[in-house]
Each structure stands twice: as structure tokens, then as C-alpha cells.
């Protein structure tokens, strides 16, 4: 989309691939910083649900913005949102769920919860190519726009989750 290169042997295609590597590194760095320094403090202030919702919304904006940022060098801005979303996605739902589970059944329920991660991933890997080809006119960038909209919907849906542990006083952070 940004580079317009389709030939995997072309220098422009390789430049794009190299830039993707840099962007992935940036979003992972942002995710690590968010996970350690921002998300825990924000969750203490506004709650886990609101924090997770905000991070999902940032991720949605990040994915969505990739379509509209014309200069590939500006895509690092999108990675800020994606990094925050990723940091929250891999931690906050588990924290919310663990507060609602009996300790003796935690492993079983966490395993079942993981089905709801793995099955959609397998489904996406199986049919996303067909969706891009036939529903999105071969424009792979539109899959990111759909992903951004999906994260936006998830941000809204998060407010309907019951965070039972949030109803009880938390111990102070040390």
C-alpha cells in the first residue's frame, strides 16, 4: 500500500520489508514500556476495564490510521496505538478473568478462555486471504482497517464485562 511494490525481488519491496521490521520493533518496545510503566498505574487510577478499553481504542486507531498516513515514515505513530493495545491484550483480560475464578479451577478456566484466542486466530489464518481477495478487492490494507474497527468494537464491549475483583478493595501497590 505505502510502497506500491508487488515484486518480492525488487529493491522497493525489500525496503518496505525492512521498514516493517523496524515498525514491529517499535511497537514491541512501546508495548513493553506500556506494560511496565503505564498500564498498571492507569488501571489503579481508572480501573482495569477502562484501561483495557482505552488501550484497545488506541490500537484500533493505530491500525485504522495505517490506511490514511501517506508517508510510510509516519507509520511509527500507528505503532504507538498498536503497542498499547498489544500490551493490554496479553495481560489485562487474564487479570480481569482471574479475579472472577475460583483458585482451584483457575487452570481449567484459563485453558478454556484460551480457546477464544486460538480458534479466531485459526479461523483468520484460514479465511482472511479469501476475505481480502473477494470482499476487500485485494486491498490488504483494508484488513487493517477492519481490524481497527474490530478493536474499536472490542473497546466498547469491554464495558459490558463484569470485573468482579474491581468491586473489592485492592491492596496498595508497593
pLDDT in tens, the chain (174 residues): 888 888 889 999 999 999 999 999 999 999 999 999 999 999 999 999 999 999 999 999 999 999 999 899 999 999 999 999 999 999 999 999 998 889 999 999 999 999 999 999 999 999 999 999 999 999 999 999 999 999 999 999 999 998 887 655 455 444
**pLDDT for 6:** 83
**pLDDT for 170:** 54
Closest to 54 in 3D by CA, of 77, 38, 30: 38
**pLDDT for 167:** 57
**pTM of full prediction above 0.85:** yes
Closest to 96 in 3D by CA, of 43, 156, 34: 43
**pLDDT for 111:** 94
**pLDDT for 174:** 43
Buried b (16+ CB within 10 A) or exposed e, 70-91: eebeebeebbbbbbbbbbbbeb
CB 140, CB 133: distance < 8 Å: no
Amino acid at each position: 500500500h505505502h510502497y506500491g511494490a508487488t515484486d518480492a525481488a525488487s529493491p522497493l519491496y525489500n525496503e518496505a520489508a525492512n521498514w516493517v521490521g523496524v515498525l514491529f520493533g517499535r511497537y514491541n518496545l512501546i508495548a513493553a514500556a506500556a506494560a511496565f510503566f503505564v498500564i498498571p498505574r492507569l488501571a489503579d487510577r481508572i480501573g482495569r476495564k477502562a484501561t483495557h478499553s482505552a488501550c484497545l481504542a488506541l490500537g484500533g486507531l493505530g491500525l485504522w490510521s495505517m490506511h490514511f498516513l501517506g508517508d510510510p515514515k509516519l507509520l511509527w505513530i500507528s505503532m504507538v496505538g498498536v503497542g498499547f493495545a498489544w500490551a493490554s491484550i496479553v495481560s489485562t483480560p487474564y487479570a480481569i478473568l482471574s479475579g472472577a475464578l475460583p483458585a482451584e479451577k483457575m487452570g481449567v478456566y484459563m485453558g478454556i478462555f484460551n480457546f477464544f484466542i486460538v480458534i479466531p486466530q485459526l479461523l483468520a489464518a484460514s479465511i482472511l486471504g479469501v476475505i481480502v481477495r473477494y470482499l476487500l478487492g485485494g486491498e490488504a490494507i483494508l484488513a487493517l482497517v477492519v481490524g481497527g474497527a474490530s478493536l474499536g468494537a472490542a473497546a466498547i464491549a469491554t464495558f459490558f464485562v463484569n470485573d468482579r475483583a474491581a468491586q473489592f478493595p485492592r491492596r496498595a501497590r508497593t
